[in-house]
Amino acid sequence: MIGHLKGVLLAQDLKSVILDVSGVGYKIFTNTASLPPKHSGGNKSNKASAPTETLEFWTYLAVRENALDLYGFTTREELDFFELLISVSGIGPKSALGILSVATLPNLRHAITTGDTGHLTKVSGIGKKNAEKIVIELKDKLVGLSADMSHSMKGDVDALEALKSLGYGEREAREALKKVVDVSDTGEKVKKALKILL
């Protein structure tokens, strides 16, 4: 089992990276928006300098009949949460990665522990049936974790709606909001997200 990889970034697209580890290129499915700014900006001028940058991933190897897929995360906490999500029936690795790509861990934890499927579907973009499954199967496992995220979560949803009303797509608005940290005021979140989007 491959649990951790450290190497240099050779290439990336919206869903994966190729990481050179001692001359072997591993394709790792990951949230490329969570990578350091030099790698997630999409600026082609960074291509020349990117191979000198070292990246580390905590990894999960998904074994299927016709493929071995690696999923990578910048923190152990994200990997642990990913493994929790894929333990839910009907949630595969790609769906779990998608959920983690569009919502912060504290917001996901809060939605699950409070049984708030309405917020969960808005934040993660999954259907109501799967949101209910996630809550039912994971709620007890997450009890005891911090549950003081209700205002922050509501602010994220409100800020997302505000950005969408300004004409931004849901995906780009979510990615911008994920980069706005330590801000609880909805207005401030929107302002900082707009600076990232412009």
**Is 62 buried (19+), middle (13-18) or exposed (0-12) by CB count in 10 A?**
middle
Q: What is the pLDDT of residues 15-33, one digit of tens each?
A: 899 999 999 999 999 987 7
State the Cα–Cα distance between residues 195 and 180, nearest whole angstrom: 10
Question: Is the entire prediction scored with pTM above 0.85?
Answer: no
Q: What is the pLDDT of residue 6?
A: 94
Does pLDDT of 150 surpass 80? Answer: no
The stretch 82-103 carries a mean pLDDT of 85
Q: Nearest 5 degrees, angle CA 34-CA 133-CA 108?
A: 30
Question: Closest by alpha carbon to 72, among 104, 22, 130, 29?
Answer: 29
Does pLDDT of 182 surpass 90? Answer: no
Q: What is the pLDDT of residues 36-45, one digit of tens each?
A: 655 444 444 4
DSSP state of 50: G
Q: What band does 197 get if pLDDT is binned at 50, 70 and 90?
A: confident
Q: What is the pLDDT of residues 114-138, one digit of tens each?
A: 887 876 776 566 788 888 888 888 8
Burial 75-102 (b: 16+ CB within 10 A, else e): eeebbebbebbbebeebebebbbbbbbb
State the Cα–Cα distance between residues 195 and 14, nearest whole angstrom: 21
DSSP state of 65: S
